Amino acid sequence: MTERPTGDPLVRMSGVDKWFGELHVLQDIDLTVDRGEVVVVIGPSGSGKSTLCRTINRLESIENGEITIDGERLPEEGKELARLRADVGMVFQSFNLFAHKTVLENVTLGPIKVRKQSKADAEKRARELLDRVGVGAQADKVPAQLSGGQQQRVAIARALAMDPKVMLFDEPTSALDPEMINEVLEVMVGLAQDGMTMIVVTHEMGFARRAANRVVFMDGGRIVESATPEEFFTNPSSDRAKDFLSKIL
């Protein structure tokens, strides 16, 4: 799955700079993700990967540059921001489910509140999504009764229930016990095959090889390299990427 699918930009970051105080955490980031494209972001700890994801749905503000989602510029705040943000699904390392709600309620809450769906419609769709990610039988439990892998799959279903245009995954398997990693990656590979636009921060190189159209390597707040998985893993062009790969492969 390596060719760029559409040439139709869905997420576009241009000239994006962000500082945390003195720390120039994102430096002149240009990144375009096409509709249907799967981009894996890798790089050392502290290189700005999470911050990059968080700027795309404005969990973090930016100081320079602009970000557009499907041609619309992300505003600073307000109703338009809420509307655009709803188009960006996010799955975090820690599953962030609502602990006191059932699995089904976790998935229906956003569609009912934000998308103004009826409870019946939201529940029907939630059950379909929970089946799709393989946790349909857990719908009436609370998150603590589920394994980590099951909880992360619920988090994916919850994000999908909003019908996002793009899904962001920030190290979705790094908090999981090893035996649960594959069940989450399989769901993500399925989404990629179904044509979902995805930005995935992960060090799971098997996932990158199977599902990514492109690998973006970050270091020190910059995008140092952007290549197909094949190019990147066999012949990275920068010394920093070579050094990084030698440590993780």
Check binding of 51 to ligand ADP (CB under 6 A). yes
Angle ∠(25,55,52) on CA atoms, nearest 5 = 50
Q: Which one of 6, 8, 20, 80 is in contact with ligand ADP (CB under 6 A)?
A: 20
Q: Does residue 55 interact with ligand ADP by CB under 6 A?
A: no
Q: Does 152 bind Mg ion (CB under 5 A)?
A: no
- Supply angle C-alpha 83, 61, 212, rounded to 5: 75
Residue 150 binds Mg ion (CB under 5 A) = no
Kindly indicate which of the ranges 32-40, 45-53, 131-139, 233-241 contains the residues binding ligand ADP, using the contact rule CB under 6 A.
45-53
Q: Taking CB under 6 A as the rule, does residue 49 contact ligand ADP?
A: yes
For ligand ADP, the closer of residues 43 and 236 by Cβ is 43
Partner interacting with residue 125 (select from Mg ion, ligand ADP, none; CB below 5-8 Å by kind): none
- Six-digit token string for 3: 């060719």
Tokens of 92: 């975090």
Q: What's the rounded Cα separation, in Å, for the pair 171 and 200?
A: 7
Contact between 162 and 174 (Cβ < 8 Å): no
Distance separating alpha carbons of residues 188 and 132, to the nearest angstrom:
11
Four-residue CA torsion sign, 135, 199, 92, 165: negative
| Site residues (CB under 6 A) for ligand ADP, limited to 22-41 | 23, 25
Given the rule CB under 5 A, which residues bind Mg ion? 49-50
Write out the residues near ligand ADP by the rule CB under 6 A. Answer: 20, 23, 25, 43, 45-51
